[in-house]
Amino acid sequence: MEKNLSSAAFHQMRPAAPEEQWDIPQGYGTTESFLLPKDPAWLFLFWEITPETFECARAQYGSVLDQSRTVIRLYDVSGVEYFDGSNANAYYDMPVVFDARSWYIHAPQSGRSYVAELGFLTPQGQFILLTRSNATTLPPGKVSDVIDDKWMSVEGDFIKLLQLSGADRIGLGGSSERMQVMDQRWRLTELAGAGNAPSSTRSSWTSFALHTAPVSQEDEDIWLQADCEIIVYGSASPNALVTINGQEIQLTDGKFSFRRALPAGAVLDLPIKASNKKGDKTRRVHIKAEREQGK
């Protein structure tokens, strides 16, 4: 279902002359859009819409476009083999600025397949399509359900590699503690290969070790360590002055990002402001994050 958006060609490579300068073009003269997965919760859409496409839409629909909203229509196409624009499981509309040329989309649900369309939404509720993206699937955002029994086929290769390492020739009387550990692991592997343990414990070294040499947890301390950070990203008018907590943020093609650690017990207060050069027009977003102290 996913459209192949790549193309291949052979080019003769030659070193560039010192006076030659290569610039990435702003566009390629084709109306198209591409949808990419960012993480289990976010999608990234970027596009190009040519003036010819706008002229064609205006010639067909006229002044109704001036009264319409520009939107991204995100379709949930999970399990849909061939999407034709009308057979999606559900769809969601969100406002967009076409001149931005790219947009982050918060997905309604992880682990689903999506297609994005850009177009006009008229006051009567009619959607006028300009471009449709490829289909993409987000990762599920949870621990895999696959168990490691699938790796039983490589157990023989593991034993061969262990033999080549000389583990079978190291005795318990070795002078190195590491050698003693290797010898113990080798003995346990031999036992597993001889059928002295059930198949469920032979599926991986970890499982077998847990069954044959349980460790007492009564006298062991329990500890846990976790760290996190805050990443703020967004976009603004290319000529805007953007500050976060009073600190100016550099814009790159109208986009910005800000990264800050969030230690235990910390509270981050991040007022974001965008203003024009005169300072008489401003837009504000306030983000506040708090991390509780663990016990």
pLDDT tens string 240-290: 888 888 888 888 777 877 777 777 777 878 888 888 888 888 888 888 888
CA distance 261 to 270: 13
Written as one string, the DSSP assignment of 49-61 is --HHHHHHHHHHH
- Does 195 have pLDDT greater than 90? no
Q: What is the mean pLDDT of residues 6-18?
A: 47
Is the separation of the CB atoms in 285 and 251 below 8 Å? no
For the chain, the distance separating the N- and C-terminal CA atoms, rounded to the nearest angstrom, is: 49
Is the separation of the CB atoms in 94 and 107 below 8 Å? no
Separate counts of helices (H) and strands (E) for the chain: 5, 13
What the block records as the tokens of 185 is 């692991």
The chain-wide mean pLDDT, for the chain, equals 76
Pairing status of strand 241-244 against strand 247-249:
antiparallel
CA distance 16 to 162: 51
The packing angle between helices 205-212 and 177-193, to 10°, is 100
How big is the CA angle at 61 (ends 60 and 67), to the nearest 5 degrees?
155
CATH architecture of the domain with range 32-137: Sandwich (2.60)
- Nearest CA among 287, 146, 173 for reference residue 230: 287
Buried b / exposed e across 20-43, counting CB within 10 Å, b at 16+? Answer: eeeeeeeeeeebebbbebeeeeeb
Q: Where are the domains of the chain?
A: 32-137, 229-290
CA distance 171 to 127: 76
Residues 151-172: pLDDT tens digits? Answer: 555 656 766 776 777 666 655 4
Pairing status of strand 255-261 against strand 267-275:
unpaired
Q: Residue 255 has what pLDDT?
A: 81
Q: Residue 20 has what pLDDT?
A: 59
- Does 203 have pLDDT greater than 80? no
CA distance 192 to 209: 10
- Does 61 have pLDDT greater than 80? yes
| C-beta atoms surrounding 262 within 10 Å | 15
pTM confidence score: 0.46
CA distance 131 to 26: 18
Residue 159: enclosing H or E segment and its boundaries? Answer: helix 155-164
- Does 77 have pLDDT greater than 60? yes
Summarize the chain as % helix, strand, coil (round to 5).
25, 30, 45
Q: Residue 251 has what pLDDT?
A: 80
Q: Name the least confident of 33-47, 68-82, 219-233.
A: 219-233
Given pLDDT bands bounded at 50, 70 and 90, which one contains residue 45?
A: very high
- Does 137 have pLDDT greater than 90? yes
Same fold, 32-137 and 229-290: yes
- Nearest CA among 64, 67, 65 for reference residue 49: 65
CATH architecture of the domain with range 229-290: Sandwich (2.60)
CA distance 293 to 251: 34
- Does 76 have pLDDT greater than 80? yes
- Nearest CA among 295, 294, 275, 293 for reference residue 285: 275
